[in-house]
Structure 1
């Protein structure tokens, strides 16, 4: 059964772009430009994930998000907000309202699909599949095995979590602080430079026999998993 996505977006061009690319990626897409209609559709046939525009006429994305979280039928449905608001306070408002992630406009279809897959892996692993792949790297979430080509890679627990986080968000640059929050957790105090140590260990384990290094260091910004050089 295909993963069902409800898109609530009033921009026809964005709706057409998102629908085309998601259907090509084998998702089922239901779309509406009206917030009230979106709430009704979500309640009548619960989607697997909702893509929600922040700036909708009549009823804002934030209010729709609040109502979805109050409704027992949709309280646990993952929500990704689509927004032109890139400022940190706005992003925090969206997350505090109940969104699971946000994508800033303009966005690439590949980034959106990667975010959808990442959110589904976090909240509904059965929908996203047990394996992650990037280039010649495969990570199995069930067996906790990592392979590169036909060679098994042995990683420590922290390096495994780092790689999984990168593979869930390919191409996205993460600062040391963001990696600490996502991989180590909010309640654990670790020096930011500790991230560098584990990145080096991960690189050493992954880049055996002179294989390409896909972990890109972005000066003054952080790290990303990226095959482009």
Structure 2
């Protein structure tokens, strides 16, 4: 789940512009136009930060800072002030905000701060493993496996082994279960034979996917991981 940022502003146009920038950077944005509700909404929504549009003569920032302190949320929710040129800067300092920016400001300054304070969601998304089922598709009717659209050559036994593992991803299958699934009935198959075929299947998938998705559970059996 991407981080939620609560924006306190009575300027709808400014909010729309700011929320667009934040969403493009991977964050979620929520407008709160009733400042007295900002802290409660941020707490309930588990927001990572409150961004306050500070106008001259307004006590909104001080009230929000006090609300965070009263609820003991100052270490959980980052408080950021976007300060209009004629706003009293001393009031900003008294509010003990985590960071303040004078408007107009380059958006990258705010984003750079957010990346350092609460993380960069685009970086996290890029690091996240792609789910195996998004890359690999098993076509039972045609008895073939496609990885990113390219076929993977498997023997009939390897195909049946993969089908069983994928149909119950994460479950650990014993060698005896896999023998019952993948080999003809009444065939005599040694457990070591299962290991050989799983090894071939593992290498074929690793070549196609670039990573090992079959997990060996010592003394138990095998499972396939979905990420």
Smaller-chain TM-score bracket: 0.3 to 0.5
For normalisation by structure 2, the TM-score amounts to 0.47
| Bigger RCO of structures 1 and 2 (CA < 8 A, at least 6 apart) | 2
Q: Which has the larger radius of gyration?
A: 2
